[in-house]
Chains A and B, each alone.
Chain A
Amino acid sequence: MFSKRLPIAKMAAAVVALSAVIAAVMLSINWNGAEDSTAAPKIDDLLNIEIVLSSIIFSIVVVALGYALYKFRAKPGDESDGEPIHGNTRLEITWTLVPTIIVLFSGAWSWKVLNEIEEPAAHQLTVDVFSQQYAWSFGYPGKEYAYSQGVLHVPVNRQIVFKMHSQDVIHSFWVPQWRIKKDNVPGITTTALITPTKIGHYQVICTQLCGFGHAAMRAKVIVQSESAFDKWVEGLKEKVPTPLMVSVKQDTQTNPEPLEQVEAE
């Protein structure tokens, strides 16, 4: 009944045109910055899919509202009522089912991406991340727990297993160009898998409020070739200090593998 009284074809055309314009503008912008890990392009693709879907939804709302305001405004002095339409079961079922399909599709795609970015690779390298108010330090188990403060070196194109430990409050490890973030939680070990794909300099940003020094809690990240990395680790003089080793040995891992406790020595 509505289809006869509303210019459905024109409205649909307006929705298509508006969503095309919004999506085109939004897709042309690189929102998340450089894509320097294997996860980054996958997450950005997911964002792009969502931008397209959202542009359509938003355009439907805007066109529907705009047309209603254009067409159904009361003339000045018109005190009459609108038509007593109480609903339309088919329309209501449509706008229940279609969004359900859209969100289930988004969920399924997200699940797929999540599995991909957390897929363990062969030939991993483990690096321990230690955080405390307000500093980062890093341990490299490969060479008897070599230790570096305020600067993280990793090789390019190799999956790094970051094992995160906090000594005091919750901190969060984030390198925006890698797209991956994980809280460092005192008392447990959290894990993140990241494969950097580009040589360069980055920053670890603490994103979990940890006190007055939170904003300044940063560390330098240097992604380098495997050989340069090996040489750099060789040259490290310091060993991971004992208090930090305690949390390494008490590794009560929660993520991504199931809980597994290592007895403290």
Chain B
Amino acid sequence: MIATFTRPGWYRAVLCTVLAAAFGFGIVVLLRVISGLPAMQTEQTGYPQVVVPLITAPLGFLLGIGCFDYWIRWGIGMPTIPDDHSSHGAYSWKDYFKVNTDHKVIGIQYIVTSFFFFLVGGLMAMLIRAELAQPGTQIVSAATFNGLFSTHAVLMIFVFIIPMFAGIANYVLPLMIGAPDMAFPRLNALSYWMLPMAGILFLASFLAPGGAFDAGWTGYAPLSTGAPLGQSFFNIGVQFAGFSSIFTALNFLVTIITMRAPGMTFWRMPLLVWANLSTSLLVVAATPFISGAQFMVLFDRILHTNFFQFGAGGDVISYQHIFWFYSHPAVYIMILPGFGIISEVISIHSRKPIFGYRLMALALIGIIVLSYSVWAHHMFVAGMFSWLRVPMMFTTLLIAVPTGIKIFSWLGTLYFGKIHTKSTAMLFALAFIVTFTIGGISGVMLGMVPFDIHVSQTYFIVAHIHFVLFGGSVFTIFAGLYHWFPKMTGRMYDEKLGRIHFWGTLIGTWGTFVPMHWIGMEGMPRRVADYASQFGNWNLLISCFAFMLGAVQLIFVYNMIVSWRFGPKAEANPWRGNSIEWLVSSPPPVFNFDEIPRVVGGPYEYGIPGARHAIMGGEGAEVPATQPSVVGT
């Protein structure tokens, strides 16, 4: 009986959560009583008796589920339990609900969890579109509406797109570089388990008095510093999501730098690896800024500091500078791993080496360097120092150049290839090129200060971000999920359902987000529950397409679940790829490789007879004599 609660697992997790919440609550009440204050504080920006447990309870859960066991034993000098690999690899579905150190299990955990939040965030989008189908307020009140779109954005950004890419990379990347696992498997597990903490905090804010956080995902002060309790859920949830992504990024960096198979030089890394290397560099340096921004808001709310309190010497605009110093790089955090996925998919399915591989890798580095110098383009009308607008405009426009290089190089890859479009992954990759080009073009337009002054904070912005995040990131996510589904599950998915899902998603995306550009330019502001009746017809049309877009995602869910269970068995290399993950069985063995592979050439040597990217140790040490280089011709 006692053992049930001392072993790491769900019983202990529940117990520790309750105890930690009680501890957090108790200490606040105790300190308040000692100080002669009323035990409970119920100002809308206050509620310390709720806010402190919001921090302690998730930590208690992480402790209980077993994320810290090994480190605590080591730290306090107890004999550590010799690792018998019992928490490594999944042998039944139950293993996915435990702390596991296998990068493949963690990858699946990440993917499934973030997809769950995608569905929840998607449902909120459906509610938003239902409300906006007609002018006036019909379904939700204006205050609830603000909470809905704020939570929608936060779920999609912090607990869907960012961790979904982390999940895909978690599964694929160690296999791709020939590593047995990530560099820090226990840290990897902790990163994963922080993710549901963040998601649950965001969703739980609906239960707070005053409703969910409703200051937008941007949470601009002083609207956020004066908002009801739900805002604190956001402030704290972001910390868990942020630490999760920082830890993962550190893990990727160390893994990529130190654990590549022998022979894999930097210029032999697949572009997905390059993409995650660049993304991780962004995450590690930028994410602390949003953590800091949200802590400052939380302190303004709870401790009455004056970071952003204008009446007490605080500076309102500095919030926006700190926030966007993370949140602009964040849009590249949300697209660079997708660029990597598209490179893999396009090269394999057109049976051709990536066109201009080195320039593709350098373009990624160019993007991360530039992306730190463009943040204030979100603030052209914010009232910041006016001279800052012009340099920020030029850096913003210049970032289109490396992005354009990527688009043109993917197109170049297709030429003189043998393009196979039977895979849904390839369809999403091809559609991504066109859709993302639109998002890129509207991005350049927004970078131009005079035009931005007109359309900033309108539906034009909504259209732009959905073109780059849905037409961009989400398309690449679907491409990646379809592409590596056989590898992850050992089963093939249904291409026919995949095609229906693809066409529905493509038409839905364009139908929903193209007209938003028009109504934005014509004068419809964003983040409104009600609007002028002249926009009624367009909004109705947008809503219809949005419902279709939402509905076809159910086909994807059905396809994935049924194929995972009943799909035909997948071979090791269904797409005839060169990179290392295709050299092992589908799904891969628990420890990935019986022998460490040896990398003998570039990752995309299609069309060169006898060329190999990597050989398994058992295949003898024969290296094909004429290894072509990857340098451009």
Give me the interface of A with B, judged by CB distance under 8 Å.
Answer: 2, 5-6, 31-33, 39, 42-43, 46-47, 50, 54, 57-58, 61-62, 64-65, 68-69, 72-74, 78-89, 91-92, 95-96, 99-100, 103-104, 106-107, 110-111, 113-114, 117-118, 164, 168-170, 172, 174, 176, 179-188, 190, 205-216, 254-256, 259
**Interface membership of B32, Cβ < 8 A:** no
- A99-B404 contact given A54-B445, A172-B457, CB 8 Å threshold: yes
Give me the interface of B with A, judged by CB distance under 8 Å.
Answer: 141-143, 146, 214-216, 220, 222-223, 226, 310-311, 314-317, 350-359, 381-386, 389-390, 393-394, 397-398, 400-401, 404-405, 407-409, 411-412, 414-421, 430, 433-434, 437-438, 441, 444-445, 447-451, 453-454, 456-458, 518, 521-523, 525-531, 576, 605-608, 611, 628, 630-633
Contacts of B386 in A (CB 8 A): 118, 254-256
Of chain B, the residue at the smallest CB distance from A70 is B419
Contacts of A103 in B (CB 8 A): 397-398, 400-401, 444
Of chain B, the residue at the smallest CB distance from A89 is B632
Q: A31-B522, A183-B382, A205-B523 are in contact. List 13 more A-B contacts (CB 8 A).
A: A32-B522, A72-B419, A74-B418, A83-B607, A86-B355, A86-B356, A103-B398, A170-B223, A183-B381, A188-B316, A209-B146, A212-B141, A254-B386
A262 to chain B, nearest CB (A): 16
Docked complex Cα distance between A176 and B459 (Å): 13
- A95-B405 contact given A85-B416, A215-B529, CB 8 Å threshold: yes
The answer, among A95, A106, A188, for a CB contact under 8 Å with B444, is A106
- A170-B316 contact given A99-B400, A183-B383, A254-B384, CB 8 Å threshold: yes
- A117-B405 contact given A68-B415, A188-B316, CB 8 Å threshold: no
A243 to chain B, nearest CB (A): 12
B457 touches A188 (CB 8 A): no
Contacts of B143 in A (CB 8 A): 212
B146 touches A68 (CB 8 A): no
For the complex of A and B, the 8 pairs showing the least CB-CB separation, nearest first, are A187-B310, A87-B632, A82-B417, A215-B528, A176-B523, A190-B383, A81-B607, A84-B607
Contacts of A172 in B (CB 8 A): 381, 457
Docked complex Cα distance between A47 and B523 (Å): 15
The answer, among B317, B350, B408, for a CB contact under 8 Å with A188, is B317
B419 touches A255 (CB 8 A): no
Which among A86, A184, A187 has the highest number of chain B CB atoms within 10 Å?
A: A86
Of chain B, the residue at the smallest CB distance from A55 is B441
B350 touches A82 (CB 8 A): yes
B383 touches A185 (CB 8 A): yes
A107 touches B311 (CB 8 A): no
A260 to chain B, nearest CB (A): 12
Contacts of A256 in B (CB 8 A): 386
B356 touches A87 (CB 8 A): yes
Q: List 12 A-B contacts (CB under 8 A).
A: A39-B450, A47-B445, A50-B444, A57-B437, A68-B411, A84-B607, A86-B630, A103-B398, A104-B394, A107-B394, A172-B457, A187-B310
Docked complex Cα distance between A186 and B311 (Å): 8
The answer, among B416, B450, B527, for a CB contact under 8 Å with A209, is B527
Contacts of A42 in B (CB 8 A): 450
B417 touches A83 (CB 8 A): yes
B406 to chain A, nearest CB (A): 10
B382 touches A43 (CB 8 A): no
Docked complex Cα distance between A254 and B448 (Å): 21
Of chain B, the residue at the smallest CB distance from A210 is B223
Which among B458, B523, B526, B628 has the highest number of chain A CB atoms within 10 Å?
A: B523
Contacts of A190 in B (CB 8 A): 383
The answer, among B222, B382, B522, for a CB contact under 8 Å with A186, is B222
Contacts of B434 in A (CB 8 A): 61-62, 65
A180 touches B457 (CB 8 A): no
Contacts of B397 in A (CB 8 A): 103-104, 106-107
B445 touches A50 (CB 8 A): yes
Contacts of A81 in B (CB 8 A): 351-352, 418, 606-607
Of chain A, the residue at the smallest CB distance from B384 is A254
- A85-B353 contact given A43-B451, A58-B438, A215-B528, CB 8 Å threshold: yes
A147 to chain B, nearest CB (A): 23
Which among A82, A118, A186, A208 has the highest number of chain B CB atoms within 10 Å?
A: A82
Contacts of A212 in B (CB 8 A): 141-143, 146, 214
A125 to chain B, nearest CB (A): 21
